[in-house]
Amino acid sequence: MSEPDVLLMDGDCGLCTRSAVFLHPRLRDPQSMRFIAIESDEGRSIISDFPQKLRDADTVYLVRNGQPYMRSSAAIRCLLYLKWHYRILYPFAWIVPLPLRNLVYRIVAKYRLKFFSQPEVCIFPTLTP
């Protein structure tokens, strides 16, 4: 079996934690995706292999089939891992132009710490297959 794809998120972020808690039970195949905290040793190791432009982004990353995606592109591609009734949203989300998607993503990212409390413990190691 091939290695699962990796979703790298901030382990100290309430929004990232809630997103992982939402995604994990809804995965079509729980073995298809691993959730890893960016600040973990494994997360830093994965990011160190990215091109410099991606390494400096400080955002959510999805490594799908060896290809890294970031910001809204990573978030929208997460729909492809979910059960069919979530996957059908993918084409509609993808139609939104990238600059607009990333603008909304950056606004949410900027204020995420104000609206979502920091988790006491990083849950990502418990969500891996």
Query: pLDDT tens digit string along 56-97?
Result: 887 999 999 989 999 999 999 999 999 999 999 999 999 999
Residue type, 60: V
H helix or E strand, kind and range, residue 6: strand 5-9
Distance CA 14, CA 10 (A): 9
Looking at the domain assignment, is residue 14 inside a domain? yes
In the chain, how many domains are there? 1
Query: What is the value of pTM for the model shown?
Result: 0.88
Domain containing residue 39? 5-123
Tell me the backbone φ, ψ of residue 64, rounded to 5 degrees.
Answer: -115, 120
**128 inside domain:** no
Residues 33-55 pLDDT 10s:
999 999 889 999 999 999 888 88
